[in-house]
């Protein structure tokens, strides 16, 4: 995954971080994934497919894929070529089809088709790295993990909330600075904020709920009413 350069900013103090999350929670009262799924298995597949692809394009693919193969058994029997036929519009579709097929087989063999609830087991599945495991642990199993994707990496660096040169560095800093009451929702709050407001090009600072706590020196906020 390509990550944005580290931005010049001032590091946020604890009070500012709390202020930011309070503002994010007011602006995004129901922070949830935009991926469509009905079961844990389907969320796992959708997250694996979402690498370097938009949630919208993943949802278009999974609407037909999950209709034909709703569970690990169905996905395994559909086969790599069958999976590929549903996901051709996604980047890296060859590798993704291979991973989804293989992980379905592994889930059947080792977990009776269920999604395991711990990081070590998740990260042994084909196509599942730390970021995907964090999403699953947080969204399905209520663990206080924060998956750092390109949006969260940008927001954390740009605002000064948790500057870092790698996703892991940003993840660890976020876990150390996000107030406890916001950690569960931090992933979805930050990803939705980065996707729709603090966009990579031309961030919408003028309507941003974080405009007064964000430390990005290049932010362009409203100065008149």
What residues are labeled active site? 131, 149
Stretch that binds ligand SF4, among 30-38, 106-114, 172-180, 205-213 (CB under 6 A): 205-213
Residue of 12, 23, 146, 208 interacting with ligand SF4 (CB under 6 A): 208
* Residue placing its CB nearer to ligand SF4 in the complex, 104 or 197: 197
197 binds ligand SF4 (CB under 6 A): yes
Say how far apart CA 111 and CA 42 lie, in whole Å. 15
Q: Are 168 and 136 in contact (CB under 8 A)?
A: no
160 binds ligand SF4 (CB under 6 A): no
Stretch that binds ligand SF4, among 64-72, 108-116, 167-175, 199-207 (CB under 6 A): 199-207
158 binds ligand SF4 (CB under 6 A): yes
DSSP assignment, residue 4? P
* Residue placing its CB nearer to ligand SF4 in the complex, 123 or 218: 218
Q: What is the DSSP string of 48-88?
A: HHTTTS-HHHHHHHHHHHHHH--SHHHHHHHHHHHHHHHHT
Instruction: Write out the binding residues for ligand SF4, residues 90-149 only, by CB under 6 A.
Output: none
From residue 11, alpha-carbon distances to 16, 18, 103, 133, 200 in Å are 10, 13, 40, 28, 20
From residue 138, alpha-carbon distances to 59, 62, 83, 89, 105 in Å are 20, 21, 26, 28, 24
Sites of contact with ligand SF4 (CB under 6 A)? 158-159, 197-198, 203-205, 208, 210-211, 214, 216, 219
């Amino acid at each position: 995954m390509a990550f944005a350069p580290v931005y010049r900013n001032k590091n946020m103090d604890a009070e500012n971080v709390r202020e930011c999350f309070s503002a994010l929670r007011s602006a995004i009262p129901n922070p949830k994934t935009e991926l469509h799924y009905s079961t844990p298995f389907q969320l796992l597949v959708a997250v694996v497919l979402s690498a370097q692809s938009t949630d919208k394009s993943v949802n278009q693919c999974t609407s037909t894929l999950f209709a034909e193969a709703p569970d690990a058994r169905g996905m395994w029997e559909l086969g790599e070529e069958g999976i590929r036929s549903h996901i051709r519009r996604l980047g890296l579709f060859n590798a993704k089809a291979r991973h989804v097929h293989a992980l379905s087989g592994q889930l059947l063999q080792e977990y009776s088709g269920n999604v395991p609830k711990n990081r070590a087991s998740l990260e042994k599945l084909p196509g599942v790295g730390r970021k995907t495991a964090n999403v699953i642990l947080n969204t399905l199993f209520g663990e206080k993990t924060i998956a750092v994707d390109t949006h969260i990496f940008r927001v954390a660096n740009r605002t000064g909330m948790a500057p870092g040169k790698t996703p892991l560095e940003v993840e660890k800093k976020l876990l150390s600075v996000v107030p406890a009451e916001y950690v569960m929702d931090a992933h979805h709050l930050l990803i939705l904020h980065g996707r729709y407001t603090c966009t990579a090009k031309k961030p919408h600072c003028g309507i941003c709920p974080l405009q007064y706590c964000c430390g990005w020196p290049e932010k362009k906020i409203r100065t008149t009413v």
